[in-house]
Amino acid sequence: MPWWKSVKGVADALKTNLEKGIHGDHADLLKRKSAFGSNTYPQKKGKSLWIFLGEACQDLTLIMLMIAAVVSIGLGMKTDGIKKGWYDGASIAFAVIVGVVVTAINDYRQDLQFNFLIEKKRNIHLEVIRDGRRPKVSIFDVVVGDVVPLKIGDQIPADGILIPGCSLDIDESSMTGESKIVHKNSREPFLMSGCKVVDGSGTMLVSSVGVNTKWGLLMASTSEDTGEETPLQVYLNGVATFIGSVGLALAAAVLVVLSVRFFTGHTKNLDGRVQFREGNTSAADAINGATKILAVSVATAVVAVPEGLPLAVTLILSFLVKKLLAENALVRRLSACETMGSMTTICTDKTGTLTSNSMTVMEVYVAGQKIDPPDSKSLLSPMLSSLVIEGIARNTTASVFIPEGEGDPVISGSPTEKAIVEWGFKLGMDFDAVRSESSVISVFLFNSEKKKGGVALQLPDSQVHIHWKGAAEIILASCVGYCDANGNLVQMDKDKELLFKNVIEDMAANSLRCIALAYKTYDMDKLPVDEQELAQWPLPEDDLVLLALIGLKNPCHPGVGDAVRTCQNAGIKVRMVTGDNPQTAKAIALECGILSSEEDAVEPNVIEGRVFREYSDSEREDIAEKISVMGRSSPNDKLLLVQALIRRGHVVAVTGDGTNDAPALHEADIGLSMGSQGTQVTKEASDIVLLDDNFSSIPKVVLWGRSIYVNIQKFKQFQLTIIVASVIINAVGAASGGVQLNTVQLLWVNLVMDTLGAWALVTEPPTDNLMRMPPVGRREPLITNILWRNLLFQVAYQVTVLLVLNFRGKSLLGLEHEIPQHANKVKNTLIFNAFVLCQIFNEVNSRKPDELNIFKGILKSHLFIGINAVTLLLQVIIIEFGGKFTSTVRLNWKMWLISVAIAFMSWPLAFIGKFIPVPKSPLHKFFTRRFHRGRRAHG
């Protein structure tokens, strides 16, 4: 049985019309899903909260604290009785449990967020043909019997059969593991889901979906890794390890000093009694005292190890993914979020990115004269009109749905194709009738290298017409004549050629995209007879006859000019790289602000791709710096430009929508693909997908990208202040026999620092002034000299005030006449309370490390205010009602006022400190970011 009859038989069995597709109403879709299944596959369940709780409990320091808590409870109940003996141990256990739960919840939320991101990446939208229309549906909604149009760069959504009259080149490496390209035609018509179309176009009949496909079975047995670590996370893990090592060393020193003091009889209770007397102290009391010392040392280590630093990056990345999605940007690779802050230049497409996706025919030249208005068919002879309409209807990738009864035709396809087909209807074209009058012999799809596409047609009278359509100057160069008003062939002389060139230049100068239609007749006897030879037959492209010059208007997206200016003010140079005529590109560049004036529109600011590619590598590097507009560029020209800019030290972003843009997108530091017009191959080569295909979304992505470093720096200043201050206070206290923040207090400080502080600071919304700053350098230190100054200034203040309270607190607070045990508790409670309040006030200081006004925009940061309000409320509860567990006492209003005053003084001191010259930190080199370009370092 012939192949086409076999396909027709399958289509009939599936109740599918090969031209109009399935009916596609709700009942039809439900019936097909019920019979054949849906195009989904079972996905492995994500980790439950219990698993994250188990993982959080595996932290070595927390295990040591839990052991210390159990020992403390046992010994405490033995020595102090059941009623009171469990307080200290239970306090430690409760603090550890809270830390574990909070850590597990953070990790669980991050896992949910990244699973959501993966689901969005998998949810590809594609065209299907249903009831003659071409709606876009999710890949999950494709059903058996669907007719799916395929073009270069598309992913095959399900298993199926190629419909007759089509040929495709398929990359099946995702299924077979072999990189060989497979040609699909009548001999090899079967298509596998998950593969990519690398050449050709056509339609397929879906025969199986979901787990009934090989791809579905493969995906059901695998899961996508959500544990991606970005370069910043890798770097910060190293920083955290370094700081943690220092902190652990100090914690070990605290352990040694406290142990020596305890076992030599220098440690006393609050009532003045020595805790350990050799020969007089029971073994249980000695073990209890040693356990408390171990717990304090371990808690010091918990505070000293900045495990919240990588957590902060995780929080901000998950927060950022959600915010960027609201700005129409889908993040595919997290590393790109970091790199965006360092971007110095953007190489952007014109059509669909700077300009809108809607085009209109504004000017038409036919028979050597302008047709005004463009749809005035009375000025065209029947012969010429017939040829123009034949070229429009047959040499197109657009499809047309004619509604029953009244209604305008619904045209689907690229903006250029839609505009030209719409113009054809205004000329009186009967789309279906014209297409039925001839059969396609061979097709040459539009090629971004040649800038044109063609089709060979066999007419009923055995004539062969070859129609070409493409960039006007390229088609004109192949023309030897043109049709006059009567449809007669007129030889192209120099004057007429010059006239047509001037028309093209005038259209380009008016920012019109100029497309030419041309054709030629061909001898039927010269056609290849064998099907294989016909498939490889090069479509003749010389000795053409010019039919029409069409000028299409593609207006800039609203707000593109403002977006370009925003990028320029942020130190980011915008470069337009387009396949259009340089004159058209120049006009659009002037309109949207890439070029400031006509004086700038000269070489090398404006250059053609063929000129650029002829330079040597070193010459290209020099020229690349100056280029603002590159016209008539091929995808390879774009790649050469990107490579030259990277060698010059730029951090380059590239936008693209065609499959041929994939190499440039992959080579760039940040690849930005188009969500609507971009092919699936392009999207997979990119880092971020612009869902609205609009350049105006890019500054928003940059803004959020820059906020990563700013917010991490804020949190780092805040966290290091607490680490250094708490370790110094405990170390000095241990050495002097004075105060140490006890285990529960230190664990509460750790919760404030690593979790609540991270939430408050890393989720701060970006401010507009970030886009008035230069890009973040690739090797910019994460902790700048300004941050070191602020940090050391705050540490010096906190340590000085709290140690003064420790050694002179009783006299300063008027507690000399109080019972010594109570006076010590009041003093130590005040020190703990003031220390925590200092961190809350320090969070506000950390919001604006390099600005004098630390309160600027604080009322807009609702999450920041809310978290700090909750922290303050919890602190009040701990002091007023948690004394049994934290070894604190209730404070009267005077003590609260003193605590607040101590914390409040950090604000004016921070203000004064910002006038102090910034010395270079000795750790400046270590905290310099030592990772290279995001995706390259990440692999």
| Distance from C-alpha of 810 to C-alpha of 820, rounded to nearest angstrom | 9
pLDDT above 70 for 458: yes
pLDDT above 60 for 425: yes
What integer is the mean pLDDT of 427-453?
84
Q: What is the pLDDT of residue 311?
A: 65
What residues contact residue 360 under an 8 Å CB cut-off, 6+ apart? Answer: 419, 552, 553
Percent of the chain whose pLDDT exceeds 90: 20
Q: Name the more confident of 44 and 473.
A: 473
| Distance from C-alpha of 659 to C-alpha of 679, rounded to nearest angstrom | 6
Looking at residue 379, the DSSP 8-state letter turns out to be G
For domain 1-225, the question of CATH label 3.40.50.300 is answered with no
Q: What is the pLDDT of residue 876?
A: 92
Q: Which amino acid is it at 326? A: A
Q: Name the more confident of 600 and 233.
A: 600
pLDDT above 60 for 763: yes
Looking at residue 130, the DSSP 8-state letter turns out to be B
What residues contact residue 376 under an 8 Å CB cut-off, 6+ apart? Answer: none
CATH annotation of 557-693: 3.40.50.1000
For the chain, the structural domain boundaries read 1-225, 230-320+702-766+782-928, 360-402+409-551, 557-693
Lowest mean pLDDT segment, chosen from 188-197, 265-274, 765-774, 807-816: 265-274
pTM: 0.76
CATH annotation of 360-402+409-551: 3.40.1110.10
Q: What is the pLDDT of residue 177?
A: 63
Considering the candidates 171, 349, 580, 669, report the single residue annotated as catalytic.
349
Q: What is the pLDDT of residue 230?
A: 66
**Residues 58-71: tens digit of each pLDDT:** 766 667 667 767 77
What integer is the mean pLDDT of 180-188?
79
What integer is the mean pLDDT of 896-909?
90
| Distance from C-alpha of 335 to C-alpha of 688, rounded to nearest angstrom | 10
**Residues 10-39: tens digit of each pLDDT:** 888 889 988 888 988 889 999 999 999 898
- What is the Cβ-side half-sphere exposure of residue 917, based on CA atoms within 13 angstroms? 2
Q: What is the pLDDT of residue 196?
A: 86
| Distance from C-alpha of 543 to C-alpha of 522, rounded to nearest angstrom | 11
**Residues 531-561: tens digit of each pLDDT:** 777 777 888 989 999 999 999 988 888 888 9
Q: What is the pLDDT of residue 443?
A: 83
pLDDT above 60 for 768: yes
| Distance from C-alpha of 111 to C-alpha of 52, rounded to nearest angstrom | 10
Looking at residue 136, the DSSP 8-state letter turns out to be E
**Residues 301-337: tens digit of each pLDDT:** 766 766 666 666 777 777 788 888 888 888 888 778 7
Q: Which of 554, 621, 544 is nearest to 587 (CA)?
A: 554
Q: What is the pLDDT of residue 239?
A: 72
pLDDT above 90 for 779: no
Q: What is the pLDDT of residue 939?
A: 39
Q: What is the pLDDT of residue 220?
A: 63
DSSP codes joined into one string, 254-268: HHHHHHHHHHTT--B
pLDDT above 90 for 516: yes
| Distance from C-alpha of 754 to C-alpha of 860, rounded to nearest angstrom | 23
Q: Which amino acid is it at 37? A: G
Lowest mean pLDDT segment, chosen from 94-98, 181-185, 843-847, 864-868: 94-98
Strands 345-348 and 652-656, sheet pairing: parallel
**Band of pLDDT at residue 293, cut at 50, 70 and 90:** confident
Strands 652-656 and 629-631, sheet pairing: unpaired
Q: What is the pLDDT of residue 253?
A: 81
Lowest mean pLDDT segment, chosen from 548-552, 617-621, 720-724, 795-799: 720-724
pLDDT above 80 for 122: no
Q: What is the pLDDT of residue 197?
A: 86
pLDDT above 50 for 933: no
| Distance from C-alpha of 916 to C-alpha of 109, rounded to nearest angstrom | 42
Q: What is the pLDDT of residue 221?
A: 59
Percent of the chain whose pLDDT exceeds 70: 87
Active site residue 850: no
pLDDT above 50 for 3: no
pLDDT above 50 for 936: no
**Residues 199-256: tens digit of each pLDDT:** 777 889 999 998 888 777 766 655 554 455 666 766 777 777 777 777 778 778 878 8
Token couple for 609 = 């791709």
- First vs last C-alpha separation in the chain: 51
pLDDT above 70 for 75: no
| Distance from C-alpha of 859 to C-alpha of 849, rounded to nearest angstrom | 18
What are the CA-CA distances from residue 355 to residues 451, 471, 472, 513, 637 (Å)?
Answer: 19, 18, 20, 11, 21
Q: Which CATH superfamily is domain 230-320+702-766+782-928 in?
A: Calcium-transporting ATPase, transmembrane domain (1.20.1110.10)
Token couple for 692 = 């609205």
Mean confidence (pLDDT) of the chain: 82
